[in-house]
Structure 1
Amino acid sequence: MRGIITFALRQPILVVFLTFLVGIAGVVAYFYTPIEAYPDVTSTRARVIVQWPGRSAEEVEKFIVLPLTQAFSNIPRKRSIRSISLFGLGVVSVLFDDDVDDFFAQQNVASRLSGVDLPAGASAYLEPPYGATGEIFRYVLKGARPIRDLTALQNWVVRRHLLQVPGVADVVTFGGEEKVYEVQLNPILLDAYDLTTLDVVEALSRANINVGGDVIEQGDQAYVVRGVGLLEKIEDIENVLITLRGNVPIYVKSVGKVVVSAKPRLGTCGLNEADDVVQGIVLMRRGEDPSTVIPLVKQKIVELNTRFLPPGVQVVPFLDRTELVNTTVKTVLH
């Protein structure tokens, strides 16, 4: 201690200069250090969600969860593996050590997931890295349009633009109806033409594709040949050829009718007086600052309402974490 005091007395200019530098560093840290009102203290995690429609929990456990668990068992710096098997759904969560970053966890799980041979009809999804406090914004899509159209706008326009905002991990959709084209077959007509439902399904599968061709060269020019066969409207589906009976074509419209319908709904979402709305939940990536991400989300919503959404359709926010974060930070600082 005496040596430090002696050095400070002999070098006053150096001591004043160092004190000045420390003061500047403190001021910079005060204004630029990010403040998280609700820090995420959960462990680093990578979660894989697999959907296998129509399968029992036992089948999901045997053919989905166990192979994934075995593939993830030797990931480096893994702490534990947890899983849930439900009807048509399997969830496998890999927990890592506290000092492992999300990029390392996501990369290792994704590389092992690509090497697992899942059964036909099963689709796997690697959940983005967000924590328990990642929900920062909620909104509804309002407009004088059918609920199916609003759902399509949410999934194909709004969600895609919000995912481009820096710091956003995912945008989850609640409520709405997903539009589908439904073929209602007449069993009497099927029996009359000696056809089965499988024949119709195979015919629709063969018709709903684009086929690549070759190139035709004429002089200095080349023309690309391709077959366009994707079904776009009801008439296209009705005119799909199933088979021939005595040189007479049998179309889909010969054995049934095509209507616009929706997938079976497992529930509805309501807000205040509205019983059926399309809601979106914006989730923030782990480690991001909500005071920075939320203003960018609001800016993107203004852009959506003014440039991309059709007239009469608006994104209307109803839950914003900005006020809660500001109030919490103010309380802590004072």
Structure 2
Amino acid sequence: MIEHILNFSIRQRWFVVLLGVVFGGLGAWSLTRLPIDAVPDVTNNQVQINAIAPSLSPVEIEKQITFQIETILAGTPSLEYTRSFSRNGFSQVTAVFSDKANIYFARQQVNERLSEIRQALPPGAEVKLGPISTGLGEIYWWSVDYAPPGEDAPVSDGKPGWQSDGSYLTPEGQRLDSDFERSVYLRTVQDWIIRPQMKTVPGIAGADAIGGYVKQYQVIPDPIRMVAYGIMFEDVVKAIEANNVSRSANFIERNGEGIVVRAGGRIEKMSQIGDIVVSTRGGLPIRVKDVARTEIGRELRTGSASMNGREIVLGTALMLIGGNSRTVSAAAAAKLEQIGSTLPPGIRAKTVLNRTQLVDATIHTVAKNLAEGALLVVVILFALLGNIRAALIAAAVIPVAMLLTATGMLYGKISANLMSLGAIDFGLIVDGAVIVTENCLRHLSARAHSEGRNLTLPERLDTVAAAA
């Protein structure tokens, strides 16, 4: 079989050359579409289920939430195993599927099974799936902070931005005097301006944030006044909920036209919360402001972010499973630069970590090592064979093999990274070519010496076929 292949290759050598060029072109095309990363992502095929129930202890979380989720997931197609942990008010279950399972099919199966137990979970428990990403999915970080007044942010009284008294005026007209208020506003900018736009970047599975404070409108009851008026806490809660709803009364038909009737009851200002009527005493209304005070507060947090000793808000972009981290992080950087021009005056968003830089540095190192290795192999081949044409023919195996490898990596969904490219051994690649080329040279030289003349083309081809 090998003999027939060799004879065919020698007789149809131009066809073999053409075939090599075609496969080389296919490999070059594959290189342009090959995912590039710094290191390989060996994370298994998994779906994370996160549940939050602030009022439950770790034991209650395990019994009432974690156990139910793990039980309902049992028997899911392609599921290999589950693992979990339970903490105070938080549960996380990780369902690991086989590598052949489609991640979107797996998430659909998990969602369908979770819908069966949502009603059985404790009141107030929130269950949702984690992003379609992996542990190596954090490809881009950015910071959101205030530019120092007078340097990058001009001070202009009465206009949005820094004021001469050290406060910050928002485009909505709110004056921020304290560090707390400014930290709250930074988180608001991150959650409502930057994060929604970063999610639109192709290849981004989600965007997280840490630092600052999540803004809340808090109603703080005064127990003494409530006892004096005979009002319970639940009365205040019910009154606020009932007065923060828009009502619809269908429509009125008049002269062939339908006029929609509705009452807008949504709260638009914090001062309106205090005017809500909770109850009446002696024909007089008891309002929220009579038994409580309203103020802007914050949600409890478990972490913060700082840079150069100043508190900031840190955003993280998560890449979709199987994405090209180099192109996705570059797109995220371009999007953040575009978003920066729309931020309120005096607020800036800067890149903290960009995976593109790491990938470029890694690929540069690998490419440099591969080029040096290939050049060294050619020099050694020339020294061993003593024939530049033979050395180049043997060395031609290196680019052809690498291009074919790129095609296999593309269709095998293997990224080009430090491990996959760094494992290429030029010595092993050219071993066979060196042996065959050296043997052909020896036989050609011996026959030419025995004939006492230069060999004709048919004689050279026959000699090469016999030597190979």
* Aligned equivalent of 2:357, options 299, 304, 323: 323
Matching residue of 2:230: 194
Tell me, what secondary structure is at the counterpart of 1:124?
strand
TM score, norm. by length of structure 2: 0.68
Matching residue of 1:258: 294
Matching residue of 1:179: 215
State how far apart, in whole Å, the 2-side matches of 1:277 and 1:270 are.
5
More divergent stretch after superposition (3-12 vs 211-220): 3-12
State how far apart, in whole Å, the 2-side matches of 1:57 and 1:204 are.
32
- Partner amino acid for 1:233? K
The 5-angstrom pairing of residues 83-232 of structure 1 reads 83-117=84-118, 118-143=121-146, 145=168, 146-232=182-268
Q: CA deviation at 1:157?
A: 1.3
Q: Deviations over 1:255-300 (max 9, x none)?
A: 12211221233333211221x2111111111211111101111111
| 1:296 aligned onto 2:331 | yes
State how far apart, in whole Å, the 2-side matches of 1:321 and 1:44 are.
22
Tell me, what secondary structure is at the counterpart of 1:151?
helix
Aligned-residue sequence identity (percent) comes to: 32
- Partner amino acid for 2:48? R
Matching residue of 2:28: 27
Tell me, what secondary structure is at the counterpart of 2:231?
coil
State how far apart, in whole Å, the 2-side matches of 1:43 and 1:63 are.
28
| 1:267 aligned onto 2:270 | no
Greater than 6 Å deviation, 4+ residue runs: none
Q: CA deviation at 1:194?
A: 1.0
Matching residue of 2:6: 5
State how far apart, in whole Å, the 2-side matches of 1:175 and 1:9 are.
69
Aligned length: 332
Q: Is the 8 A contact 2:37 2:324 kept in 1?
A: yes
More divergent stretch after superposition (89-98 vs 250-259): 250-259
Q: CA deviation at 1:69?
A: 0.9
Larger radius of gyration: 2
State how far apart, in whole Å, the 1-side matches of 2:227 and 2:32 are.
77
Q: CA deviation at 1:23?
A: 2.5
Tell me, what secondary structure is at the counterpart of 1:80?
strand
Unpaired segments ≥5 residues, structure 2: 147-161, 163-167, 169-181, 370-468
Q: Is the 8 A contact 1:40 1:286 kept in 2?
A: no
Matching residue of 2:313: 278
More divergent stretch after superposition (288-297 vs 254-263): 254-263
State how far apart, in whole Å, the 2-side matches of 1:20 and 1:278 are.
53
Unpaired segments ≥5 residues, structure 1: none
Tell me, what secondary structure is at the counterpart of 2:307?
coil
Tell me, what secondary structure is at the counterpart of 1:270?
strand
Q: CA deviation at 1:10?
A: 5.0
More divergent stretch after superposition (261-270 vs 242-251): 261-270
Matching residue of 1:67: 68
* Aligned equivalent of 1:309, options 319, 326, 343: 343
Q: Deviations over 1:104-149 (max 9, x none)?
A: 2222112212222222211112101211211111111122651111
Q: Is the 8 A contact 1:239 1:252 kept in 2?
A: yes
More divergent stretch after superposition (94-103 vs 12-21): 12-21
- Partner amino acid for 1:292? T
Higher helix share: 2
Matching residue of 1:241: 277
| Cα RMSD after superposing both structures | 1.7
Q: Deviations over 1:198-220 (max 9, x none)?
A: 11111111112222320111113
- Partner amino acid for 1:271? M
Matching residue of 2:424: none
Alpha-carbon spacing, 1:27–1:234, altered in 2? closer, same or farther (3 Å): closer
Higher strand share: 1
